[in-house]
Every structure is written in C-alpha cells, then in structure tokens.
Homo-oligomer: A and B are copies of this chain.
Amino acid sequence: MEITERGVCLRGFKAYGVREKGYGLAVILSDRPANSSIMVTSNRVMAAPLLVTIEHAAKGTLLGVVANSGCANAYTGEKGVEDAREMCRAAAAELGIDPETLAVASTGVIGRPLDMPLIKSLIKKTAGSLDESPESSMAAARAIMTTDTKPKSISVKTRLRTGEEVEIGGIAKGAGMIAPKLRPGTAHATMLAFLTTDAYVPQDRIHTILKEAVEQSFNITVIDGDTSTNDLVVLLANGAAGNREVDDSFQEALNFVARELAKMIVKDAEGSTKFFEVRVKGARSGEDASLAAKAIAGSNLVKTALFGGDPNWGRIIAAAGYSGAEFDPENISLQISSKDTTARLIEEGRVLALPGSEELKKAGKVMKAEEIVITLDLRDGGEEATAYGCDLGYGYIKINSEYTS
C-alpha cells in the first residue's frame, strides 16, 4: 500500500468546492454509477439532508455527493427536507444527472433554514469547475470545513491479490460535536467523510466493508462526547479499476484511509493541543474494552490533565471505573507513553507511580508530549479496543462559547 495525494479524485471521479459568505459547497461526481454505502448518525434528531440521502442511497448506486457547510439544515422540519431535495435537484440539473443519484450533506448551526439562493449560486460555480485534479479534491475538502483549521484528505494505492491496482481516497471534516456513533443507513454529527474508490466493490458486501472501516476509525473518536445530528460517511465505489472481487488488502487499505481521516479530525479538534490514543486490552469482551477506552478518551478530567501535562493518572482509572466495563481494578496494569518515554504507572494492581517515584517523574514527561498513548491492560481476557481523544483546553471553551450567534 502506498500513500498518494489525490484525495477523492481517483479514476473516474471529479470534485470541486467553493466558499462564499459563510457557506461552503462541495460536489464529488463519478463518471459512472458507483456501488455505494452510507453510515449516518445515531442521533434521534437527524438532519434533513440525511433523510434524503438515506432514501437516495437505498437504491444501491449513487453518482456523487453535494454537501454544504455554514448551515446544518437540522431541525428544520419539512421545509428542511424540501431544501435538501432542492439542493440535489439544483446540482443534478447543472450536472445533467438524476437528482436521486446524489447523496446530500450539511454541516453548521442547527435550527436554521438553508440560504437556498446562496446554495444554488454556489452549486452553479462548483458544478462548472469540476475536474479530477488533486487541487479540486482539496477545494472540496476546504469547502466543507466549519471550525476545522485545515482540510482533511488522503488517498492510497494498493494491489489486490488478483493483480489489479486500486485506489481509495477520502476527504473529511469535523472538529467539534464529535463522538460519532454511526450506524448503517443513518449518520453522526458534524463529522462528514466522503470516501471514493475506483475498485469494484460488490453491492452485497459494501455495507459490511464500510461498517468495519467506520467501527475502527470514526466511531472510536471522541472530541466532546456530543454526537451530532448531521454525521455522514459515504463510500462510492465506481469500479473503474476493472477488478471483479475485493480481498482483505482492500479492507485494510480502506480501514487505513478511514483511520487516518479520523485521526486528522481528532488532531484538528477545537482548541486542542494534544492527541492521545487509548488502548484497552485484556478485556473480557470487546464491549468492555470499548466502554473503557471511550470513557477514558471522553473524560473531561483526563482531558484537562492532558492539557495541563499533569500525570494525575487516578483520573484514568476512575474513568475506566465508571465506564460500565467489567474488570477487577486490583489486577490491572496501566502505562502511558510518548514517542521516547514509557511510564509504568500500575503493574498488576501495584502502583509504581507513587509520589516521588521515578515512574511518576517519567509520567510527568510523557504528559507533556503532543502525542500520548494510554495503555490499560484489564488482564481479564483477550479482547481489546482503541479510542482516539484530545485534550480539553482554553481553546475549546473559546470556540464553543462564541460559536453561532
């Protein structure tokens, strides 16, 4: 597998995006029907574009995506659904395709109607400039940004066992209201990811393949624990590569693309200065491992300790303790590490990081790093899970107390 820099603009795909007057608009288009799968937020308050996307995606193939930033078109009632349909119609008219072949997505403030004249003008500009250059993919990635500080894009090339070379690419946005709980046929908030591949992926397997990629990437990221009304992941597989089947190498490459995009989202989290990965292993069940990993990644006290570079490791085990995961606290091992230092805090239930100890000194050093791995071994089974998190600092407060109005 090789990392390329084409974003979503792979064989047979075009894209573009523009920003204007607080809105952004992106279009991705395949030159032939693409087998497709979507995952949407599990939030009960689901934004209007997702309702329309679910309907369009039910047919199995799509030609592209039209997405805007600046307004979430969420909690906008029937008018919102009509606006989302109108977005598809306007884009389809410009592109000369059927409106029902488009997925539609929005991100921004909840509870406000879309500015449709602006949307239509942006669609016209975008549709007229579509091409397959990496720069155009980047323009699309930029167009969907809200509080993001940078566009998120990646692509890879891999060779299937049957010999064909295929590419997988993606763009994503998301910086706050992030705790995706994406489920098939529905999406989670203000995290958008559009994935393309020139591989043929059989329609009867594409949902399972996307779900696996999402479960180990977007669904393990926690920024603020607030699951959005607008989260959406779309995978378009247009088959331009001519393969007849996909194998594990495709799944691995797709997982990689999704994971890299998820990491980019967490690393660009609102106001954050640090990225951390929580690895829980030795759990009785995958569910226990996941509960513990997500509780640690989502704990405000762990996150503020990371922001302060404070080795207050008690907060880590307290978070595991209230996570609902089953384990014996007296038997766990805990360590934290940065690129060049590992601090063993607890070893089989015995605290090594006591005040004045060497391990606590090392822990203080680790907590000051920009990338930290927390490893909690529950020593109670063979299951494991990972979660991605970020610190909670003044920047998050600033951005989120001033956003909107």
Contact = CB atoms under 8 A, between A and B. Distances in A.
Given A42-B322, A401-B307, A314 B74 contact: yes
Nearest to A302: B226
Interface in A59-80: 72, 74-77
A75 B314 contact: yes
Interface in A183-237: 188-189, 224-229
A207 to B, nearest CB: 23
A405 interface: yes
Interface string A153-179: 000000000000000000000001101
A33 interface: no
Contacts of A74: 314, 318
Contacts of A3: none
Interface in A348-363: 349-351, 353-355, 360
Interface string A364-405: 100000000000000000000000000011101100111111
A327 interface: yes
B109 A312 contact: yes
B44 A301 contact: no
Contact of A397 (B111, B226, B392): B392
A243 interface: no
A255 interface: no
Contact of A394 (B109, B355, B394, B405): B394
A116 interface: no
A120 to B, nearest CB: 20
Given A44-B321, A318-B43, A308 B401 contact: yes
Interface string A105-123: 0000111110000000000
Nearest to A109: B314
Interface residues of A, number: 74
A241 interface: no
Nearest to A308: B401
Contacts of A404: 305, 310-312
A285 interface: no
Interface string A12-38: 000000000000000000000000000
Interface string A281-304: 000000000000000001111001
Contact of A308 (B300, B301, B402): B402
A181 interface: yes
A346 B45 CA distance: 14
A321 to B, nearest CB: 3
Contacts of A225: 225, 298-300
B72 A314 contact: yes
A52 interface: no
A313 interface: yes
A392 B226 CA distance: 14
A176 B303 CA distance: 14
Nearest to A392: B397
A317 interface: yes
Contact of A45 (B310, B317, B354, B355): B317
A329 interface: yes
A229 B77 contact: no
Given A307-B397, A393-B401, A315 B349 contact: no
Top 9 A-B pairs, shortest CB-CB distance: A110-B314, A308-B401, A45-B321, A304-B400, A227-B322, A43-B321, A44-B321, A111-B314, A224-B300
13 contacts: A45-B318, A46-B329, A77-B330, A110-B312, A112-B354, A177-B301, A224-B301, A300-B300, A304-B397, A308-B402, A311-B404, A312-B403, A312-B404
